[in-house]
Structure 1
Amino acid sequence: MTDTERTFADARAWAHTGTSLVLAAVADLDEAGFSADSVLPGWSRKHLAAHVAANADALCNLVHWAATGEETPMYASSEERAAGIAKGPALPADELRSWLNASTLRLAAGLDGLTDDQWQHQVVTAQGRTVPATELPWMRAREACIHAIDLGTGTTFHDLPDGFLTALVHEIRDKRGLVDLPDGPLPEVAAWLTGRPHSLADAPELGPWL
């Protein structure tokens, strides 16, 4: 799949799918469940939920940039980004869940409010890439879909749309500079490329991505 085959409509649908999976994953977690380890080493589910919530808040900054032309970085600094993640474990489960829900609703409303012209406005990502605002749904789709799995409540790469997985595999393969991919089911290849647990035999170990 090429970049032109990953459509704007696709990305918006996948962002919605990922958001729904994240919110469903945390909907019934009590304090102990939220405090349990996530799939990511060294991160509890609270760390991860805070990261996803803070990411939505940060993307809202880029939505504001696209809507108004006022330069609004995702994060004021790397320290601010780290502080958002660290905030999670200190919050009670219900408060963290409320933050996650509210931030995703704000982001969805902001994206829905952009006009056709505003979607074409340039913004700058936390990695320093200048992109049109039309890239924001894809950025959110990656965060939400992959971290829904990382929460470790039962969602797997097999639950994600094939189109999303194909686009993800294409992007990460290019960023990692890989030519050949191991044989196996698409969800398992995507899991391997992102550095998550997978069932592929003899595939070389890759470091974490995202």
Structure 2
Amino acid sequence: MIDHAHDLASVQEATDRLLTAAAALDNAAGARPSRLPGWTVGHVLAHLARNADALANVLDGRPMYVSAEARDADIERDAPRALDAQLDDLRASHAGFRARAAEPADWTRSVELRNGVTDIASRVPFRRWAEVELHHVDLGIGYELEDLPAEFGEREIDFLADRFSGHREVPPTGLRGDGGQVWTTGGGAPGGPIAVEGSTADLLGWLAGRRDGSALLVKGGTLPALPPL
């Protein structure tokens, strides 16, 4: 069962962790390449701030972004800012998201995200948690997939495995973690079943497009090529 209050507390912890790490950088760090192609560290920080605003919009029943073009333009506008400005913005946008989430609400209601995707409101805090954790890794400042909280790692694999379940480009695939956890995904493409085994970090990295899967053990075929998230 989704516990939005628990996830909101986890968002706070993850945000505090990211802000503490980013505060140790110098202003020149914002212009350095991040681990996301075409994005600097400043782009990642700007995206995190604007995503907090966007998810507050979702909770308020408004469109997540005015448009895809406006989303991209806002990130490009904000990316070159000095580090202090980036972190102040991230703190403020996070506070706005938390304030909106603290208001009385029906957490079982349906909400709309980008590209017509719908979900229940209680899952929005977990989506924000994922943004903060994965983009902290994307900054390339010493926080790795292996450093992610164990609970988050397993739940994000659950989320991504479900996202690709039945996908027409992914054959039936079974996943096994190094702690014995099992997941299934794919199933919409011919072939398989394929068995994939590895650590939580490597499985999550592959599913989230952060690692190429070369560290995974694959049986019954080749490692499926996953579509973009």
TM-score range for the pair, normalised by the shorter chain length: 0.7 to 0.9
1:196–1:208 Cα contact (<8 Å) kept = no
Cα distance in 2 between the residues matched to 1:102 and 1:206: 38
- Between 47-56 and 102-111, the greater mean CA deviation after superposition: 102-111
Which stretches of structure 1, 4 residues or more, deviate above 4 A after TM superposition? 205-210
Partners of 1:180 and 1:76 in 2: CA distance? 38
Deviates more, 1:141-150 or 1:83-92: 83-92
Inter-partner Cα distance in structure 2 for 1:98 and 1:188: 33
**Partner residue, 1:81:** 71
2:185 aligns with none
For residues 146 and 97 of structure 2, the distance between their equivalents in structure 1, rounded to whole angstroms, comes to 26
User: TM-score scaled to structure 2, two decimals?
Assistant: 0.77
By how many angstroms is 1:7 displaced?
Answer: 3.5
Distance apart, 1:31 and its partner CA: 1.8
What is aligned with 1:132? 120
Structure of higher CA gyration radius: 2
- Counterparts of residues 87-166 of structure 1 (less than 5 Å): 87-112=77-102, 114-115=103-104, 117-166=105-154
Indicate the residue corresponding to 2:181 in structure 1.
none
Output the CA distance in 1 between the equivalents of 2:21 and 2:112. Answer: 30
CA–CA separation in structure 2 for the residues paired with 1:24 and 1:149: 14
1:180 Cα deviation after fit: 1.9
- The alignment partner of 1:40 has SS state of coil
> CA separation in 1, counterparts of 2:203 and 2:77?
33
Aligned-partner Cα distance in 2 for 1:183–1:205: 13
Unaligned runs of 5+ in 2: 166-171, 176-195
TM-score by length of 1: 0.83
Q: CA-atom RMSD, angstroms? A: 2.2
| 1:180 and 2:174 matched | yes
| Higher fraction of strand | 2
Q: Deviations over 1:25-68 (max 9, x none)?
A: 32122221121111111110001101110000111212322xxx
The equivalent residue for 1:15 is: 11
User: How many equivalent pairs are there?
Assistant: 198
Match of 1:53 among 25, 35, 49: 49
Residues 97, 8 of structure 1: CA spacing in aligned structure 2 closer, same or farther, 3 A cutoff? closer
